[in-house]
Amino acid sequence: MSIATPSPDLDDDDLDEPIPAMQQLLDNPFLLLFIGVAMPTVLYIIWGVMEIVGIPIAK
């Protein structure tokens, strides 16, 4: 098994520079999966179901 080597014109500065946080987020499909499922689950389903459960009984 060979290991890919960075091409020579990548200088040290470039490799030392940390990846910005937003790019790290975008490069992490599983973190995105978590956020993408959690957001609508909380904001749409849970909030919506709580409102339905809280509907008062007619007099």
Q: Is 12 in the site for other proteins (CB under 8 A)?
A: no
Q: Is 56 in the site for other proteins (CB under 8 A)?
A: yes
State how far Cα 43 lies from the chain centre.
Answer: 16
Q: Is 58 in the site for other proteins (CB under 8 A)?
A: yes
Q: Could you write out the DSSP letters of every residue in 7-54?
A: -TT--HHHHHSPPPHHHHHHT-HHHHHHHHHHHHIIIIIIHHHHHHHT
Which residues are at the interface with other proteins (CB under 8 A)?
Answer: 1-7, 9-10, 14-15, 17, 19-20, 22-23, 25-27, 29-30, 32-33, 35-37, 39-41, 43-45, 47-49, 51-52, 55-59
